[in-house]
Structure 1
Amino acid sequence: MDLRKLKTLIDLVSDSNITELEITEDDGKVRIVKANPVTYAPAAMPVAAAAPTAGAAPAAAPVVVATPAIAAAPAEPAGHVVKSPMVGTFYMSSTPGGKPLVEIGSVVKEGDPVCIIEAMKIMNEIEADKAGTITQVLAQNGQAVEFGQPLFVIE
């Protein structure tokens, strides 16, 4: 399936109320499932004990409900971040066991290949979208990457 057609289908699902779409064609089958956004229920408010009335037993201590602290999102790395344009498997080199296309300290120009992402048995060469020096590699060779996942930092 053409990547432009796949991107159009992804946009269609994300912009609509559709939660799942499955398309079967001669050259393959695509299933797109929209993840439900994470929603948090509001924390319960502490209940205050009523004032004791004359002659009544002392009231129990009020119950305090602790709300879990939400972990801060990791800080965005300094510099320009090259993000994955698709879901697939990340490879540092164009051949198994080959020399990586880039390493930390490599100087790249805009348009230079920096990695390969395999999606649906197609090897897609990902290019640097900015000139500079690779300061961080944020993905691991052979691991799955998500759309928009940071791959490299260029400074």
Structure 2
Amino acid sequence: MTKKNHDADVAFIQALAELLRENDLTELQVKRDYGADDSLNVRVSRHTQQQVVTQVSAPTPALAAPAATPAGPAPTPKTDDPAEDPGAVTSPMVGTVYMQAEPGADPFISVGAAVSEGDTLLIVEAMKTMNHIPAPRSGKVKRIIVEDGAAVEFGTPLVILE
């Protein structure tokens, strides 16, 4: 590898780390092919808000995402963290959120709207596949946490139902 490629790779890794921080992601993995026998595999992951770990290596299977902890039977949550709300509906995957079936269409839900179990709350696009996220139970939409077009990770709170 030449000095020029090395400098470009360092700048590329720094740009990935910045992208990770700006979009509040925990992990990003990219493979760059330079030729038949020359490639760069980079995985950048963040374990805490202050620590960014960068690893350059051969391709490895993705690490398992941490399991979501079930919310306890707290009658009135005193935290502002939507993930700890017992009515939180979380993302089952990494992807991009869409609030309507197609651009210009009415959104699936709005704050205050009643939903039935199985109704589509929103769509999470992952790898060019549109995944409808159903309501886990009937209720009323108390809060919509994500915005249309936002990137989400596994376990990200999307909507809070009453």
TM band (smaller chain): 0.5 to 0.7
> Is residue 38 of structure 1 aligned with residue 48 of structure 2?
yes
Cα pair 2:89 2:159 within 8 Å, conserved: yes
2:23 matched residue in structure 1 = none
Long gaps (5+) in structure 2: 1-26, 32-40, 52-78
Q: CA RMSD in A?
A: 3.1
- Give 1:147's aligned amino acid: F
- Give 2:160's aligned amino acid: V
1:89 matched residue in structure 2 = 96
Per the alignment, do residues 39 and 140 of structure 1 end up closer, same or farther by CA in structure 2, a change over 3 Å counting?
closer
- Give 2:146's aligned amino acid: A
**Whole-Å Cα distance in 1 between the matches of residues 115 and 42 of structure 2?**
34
Equivalenced residue count is 99
Give the C-alpha shift of residue 133 in structure 1: 0.1
**Whole-Å Cα distance in 2 between the matches of residues 154 and 116 of structure 1?**
17
**Whole-Å Cα distance in 2 between the matches of residues 102 and 20 of structure 1?**
31
Q: Which has the higher strand share?
A: 2
Equivalent position SS for 1:94: coil
**Whole-Å Cα distance in 1 between the matches of residues 155 and 42 of structure 2?**
16
1:60 matched residue in structure 2 = none
TM-score by length of structure 2 reads: 0.52
Per the alignment, do residues 122 and 79 of structure 1 end up closer, same or farther by CA in structure 2, a change over 3 Å counting?
same
2:144 matched residue in structure 1 = 137
1:150 matched residue in structure 2 = 157
Q: Which has the higher helix share?
A: 2
TM-score by length of structure 1 reads: 0.54
Question: How do 1:53-64 residues align onto structure 2 when only pairs under 5 Å count?
Answer: none
Give the C-alpha shift of residue 38 in structure 1: 2.8
Give the C-alpha shift of residue 106 in structure 1: 1.1
Cα pair 2:96 2:149 within 8 Å, conserved: yes
User: Percent identical across equivalent pairs?
Assistant: 36
2:120 matched residue in structure 1 = 113
> Is residue 102 of structure 1 aligned with residue 120 of structure 2?
no
Give the C-alpha shift of residue 75 in structure 1: 2.9
Give the C-alpha shift of residue 109 in structure 1: 1.2
- Give 1:38's aligned amino acid: T
